[in-house]
Amino acid sequence: MANNNSIVQYTPEITEAFKPEVLQVIRQSIAPTATDQEFLLFAHKAASYGLDPFKNEIFFIKYGNTSRIQFAAEAYLSKAREQEGFQPPDTQMVHENDEFKVAMNKETKELEVVQHEIGFPRGKIIGAYSIAYREGHRPVTVIMDIEEVAHMFSGQNKDNWNKWTSDMFGKHVQQRALKRQYGLEFEDETITSAESDNSIPEYKPERKDITPNQTVIDAPPSNPEPTEEEKQIKKIRAEITKRLQVLGVVGKEKVAEYIATNAPNMSINPTLAEYTGLLNIIDMNIDMMNMSDSSDELE
């Protein structure tokens, strides 16, 4: 298993961007399952692009023998802010009862929003647009019909798209507009085990020894007088089960496999801190899945 406390040698970009104590926190909290070489690549990309892992601008996630370094929608906005002439983008939802018109600009030959007036009730969301402004440049407008993202509402991330449609759709269209206006391009990286740190054998713990099964998560032994910590554990177990379902991790075998891969040091009877750490990893997995679904649609 990779050593989470040291790297053979960091690149100059990494040492300039992150203090040693910050790197240690990133390693332990954001990329705990990364091998030395995987973490080196992750930290180098974050440092080179000037992105903050703590602000969810860049993610590291690992599924089995495959790891992925992915850039979030927030990364585009963060880097756009650093560009000369930056102005905040205008991103809006279009509802079925809105007065909305788009026309072709005869000079630029590009579509532009010429009218958007709202009233109540607004009705269902039927589209979205984002206008990326920049001083000294023509605005870049991206307009999308909701049918263009219809597959998102039945895909792996359907729960978030159905529950937070405005937020998810807005980030999606805004990312496209910022990408075109500011010439931003981030390359996600997928790493297989062959590309990882081959000098360090992958640690595959026996599930029966170190991973809590679904029964432990869903129905731990009852206690007639539960302590405050036990009450908190019960609550967080319910959240873990719920969020694992968002990832499609359902059933004892899949849960055990997920925990063995992403939290290999978790004990048979996990503490509150261990459950909290697992929940944080799951949340990061969900964020990665959200960003993956959005980035797959970018031009």
pLDDT by position in tens, the chain (length 299):
444 445 458 999 999 999 999 999 999 889 988 888 899 999 999 999 999 999 989 989 887 778 888 888 788 899 999 999 999 999 999 999 999 999 999 888 888 999 999 999 999 999 999 999 999 999 999 999 999 999 888 876 788 889 999 999 999 999 899 999 999 888 778 877 544 343 333 333 334 344 555 544 555 544 557 787 788 888 888 889 888 888 888 888 888 888 887 777 677 778 877 788 788 788 777 776 766 655 555 54
pTM of the model: 0.57
C-alpha distances out from residue 133 to 82, 139, 142, 238, Å: 14, 5, 12, 44
Query: Whole-angstrom Cα distance, residue 213 to residue 64?
Result: 18
